[in-house]
Amino acid sequence: MAVLYDGTVRAGIVIAPDAPEQAKYAASQLRHYLGLMTGGSFAVTHGVPGDHDIGLLGSDVSLGDDGFTIDANAEGIRITGNKRGILYGVYELLERLGCRFFAIDCEVVPLHHTLTVPDMRVRQVPALEYREHNYSDLTQNTMFAVKSRVNGQSHKISEAMGGHISYAWFVHTFDHMVPQEKYEKSHPEYYALVDGKRQTQKHTGQLCLSQEGTLEATIQSVREALHNNPDAKMISLSQNDWNGNNCQCADCVASDNKEGSPAGTLTNFVNKVAERLETEFPQVVFSTLAYQYTRPAPKYAKPRHNVSVQLCSIECCFAHPMETCDDQNRRVKRPDGSAGTFMDDLVDWGKVSRRNFIWDYTTCFAHYPTPHPNWRSLQPNMRAFVKNGVTGVFEQGNGAKGGGTDLNELRAYVIAKLLWDKDTDVARHIREFTDAYYGDAAPMVRAYIDLICDKAEQDNIHVGFNDEPSDELFSDEMLDRMEALLQKGKEAVRGDAIRLFRVDKALLSPRYVRIRRNVKRGRGDVRVLNAFYSDWRAHRMTRMEEWFSGESSLRSMLDGKPRSVDYFTHWIDESPEVL
């Protein structure tokens, strides 16, 4: 057992004289939290760690950028890791000493009159090389993102704090590859042929991947993007976010039919780009999507070693684990008329590709506040991903800068834990988080989660990523029970202003659903709408739907419309988000 503090500081923090910036930052974080835990002033020095010191050391390549080891005994503590790993090792030690990094507005740091570290030998290397979700706590606060051990595109972590895996272009990039303003008039044949017409419009049109000119234009654009982003580790060459409109020219159709999926045509195209540019950009992985019409794996095409495929679960039900969900409406058709489940496609891609990522969905994007009953499917799904050889996961959630309701802080915490370790103790994380974040209201919040999940399970209610709040799941009686639990939680924390504020935020979710359901019935009440919108803004939230402002969402409810998208030609046409 190592003694760090017994009324006197008994250990120093030692880093190498030539320690990288990440080790220096790790040492500063360790000093900060040990000081908070004990009141002692822990020194950081450069040199060789002696007996009883905490040494932060570099490590061999077997740990990669993210792995670490902790070796603690009576003679001292040694934490080893490269780049991000040295930081993760420090946070692991702090968590084992009782610290918790729940949210940007909730950390737990225990006080110790005597602080000891039990003997331990720890080695952790995550199964996922790429770990990302886009909940606002982590996209808006770099320090918290590092503590959560994510490393994806959304987090913009500086090199001094471990860095992140950056993209030069991030998904849905056909418009970047062959810009319409450059080629629309001179080379319409570069764009998809659908119903006898070339689809040259932005956002909704796709490309003709059989044209040699499309390939050459893409290589030129990709080369320029990579020169402009020299630190990029990845670039996405992927279809636009529009289901269908893939090219129906004779050559593309023949390729699609031969491969049994348009993914074969796309994979062969991306392989050609990756091969041509590999020597010039050896550090770059060329990524693409298996999304909607490209979700089924090809029969023959195999991604090159420097090509990654990101399989998207957008059609899935998220109320039940993907391996056991029996919803027959979630299949994707292939050119031969057959159809497969997401799990069919996941297994098939694992047979043809060595570097598969997942793009998964963890909220209702059409109605962000709607309670999403996915709490019991998050872990089984993560286990299924890793079991089938997935090496990176992006869990897309409510990406609004102002955050959201539906217990988003808790969901962000649980997902980050699962991205690091698929077998983590989710029940313990939920219990610890709710106890700290909601105080005496925690039992009611947990009962609220169970109520929603029990209903979806017992009645076998399927829930997609973009569904309207259904009468099946959110009956008036169900909403009454949900609100009653959270009102009881508010009473339990009536004298605790911070936790009362948090429970009141959670209560906005069933309030929103009730309003939406009443609007659908023609029972909109402007007084209720105004009260809800005022409370929603008091929590500094910005969006109730993906892509649209709160003002547009309020307008849709006043006008009796299901969603704000009815006001726009395309869902990304409204102005950028403003805090």
Confidence of residue 82 (pLDDT cuts 50, 70, 90): very high
Which range is least confidently modeled, 378-382, 426-430, 470-474?
Answer: 470-474
Scan for tokens 């020219």, then name that residue.
Answer: 249
What mean pLDDT is reported for the chain?
96
Write the pLDDT tens digit of every residue in 202-237: 888 999 999 999 999 999 999 999 999 999 999 999
pLDDT tens-digit series, residues 491-541:
999 999 999 999 999 999 999 999 999 999 998 899 999 999 999 999 999
* SS3 assignment for 326-394: CCHHHCEECCCCCEECHHHHHHHHHHHCCCEEEEEECCCCCCCCCCCCCCCCHHHHHHHHHHCCEEEEE
Contact predicate 296/337, CB 8 Å: no
Report the pLDDT averaged over residues 47-72.
94
DSSP state of 189: G
Q: Is the pLDDT of residue 130 over 90?
A: yes
Per-residue confidence at 573, pLDDT binned at 50, 70, 90? confident
Q: Residues 89-111: what's their mean pLDDT?
A: 98
Q: Both tokens of residue 278? A: 């590999």
Q: Which CATH architecture has domain 2-125?
A: 2-Layer Sandwich (3.30)
Is it the case that residue 579 has pLDDT exceeding 80? no
Determine the pLDDT at residue 203: 86
Average pLDDT (117-125) is 98
pLDDT digits (tens, 9 = 90+) for 252-311: 999 999 999 999 999 999 999 999 999 999 999 999 999 999 999 999 999 999 999 999
Query: What pLDDT is attached to residue 571?
Result: 77
Q: What is the pLDDT of residue 578?
A: 75
CA distance 515 to 479: 11
> Which tens digit of pLDDT belongs to each residue from 142-153?
999 999 999 999
Structure tokens at 251: 């050559």
pLDDT at 524: 86
Distance CA 343, CA 324 (A): 10
pLDDT at 575 over 80: no
Contact by Cβ (8 Å): 207, 221: no
* pLDDT per position as a tens digit, 311-345: 999 999 999 999 999 998 889 988 899 999 999 99
- Which burial class, exposed, middle or buried, applies to 325 when counting CB atoms under 10 A from its CB (0-12, 13-18, 19+)? buried
Per the CB < 8 A criterion, the answer to whether 468 and 367 are in contact is: yes
Instruction: Work out the pLDDT band at 555, boundaries 50, 70, 90.
Output: very high
What pLDDT, on a 0 to 100 scale, did the predictor assign at position 397? 97
pLDDT-derived band of residue 570, with 50, 70 and 90 as boundaries?
confident
CATH 3.30.379.10 location in the chain: 2-125
Q: What is the 3-state secondary structure (H, E, C) of 50-119?
A: CCCCEEEECCCHHHCCCCEEEEEECCEEEEEECCHHHHHHHHHHHHHCCCEEEECCEEECCCCCCEEECC
Position 569 scores a pLDDT of 81
Task: State mean pLDDT over 402-409.
Answer: 96
Share of the chain above pLDDT 70, in %: 100
| pLDDT at residue 97 tops 90 | yes
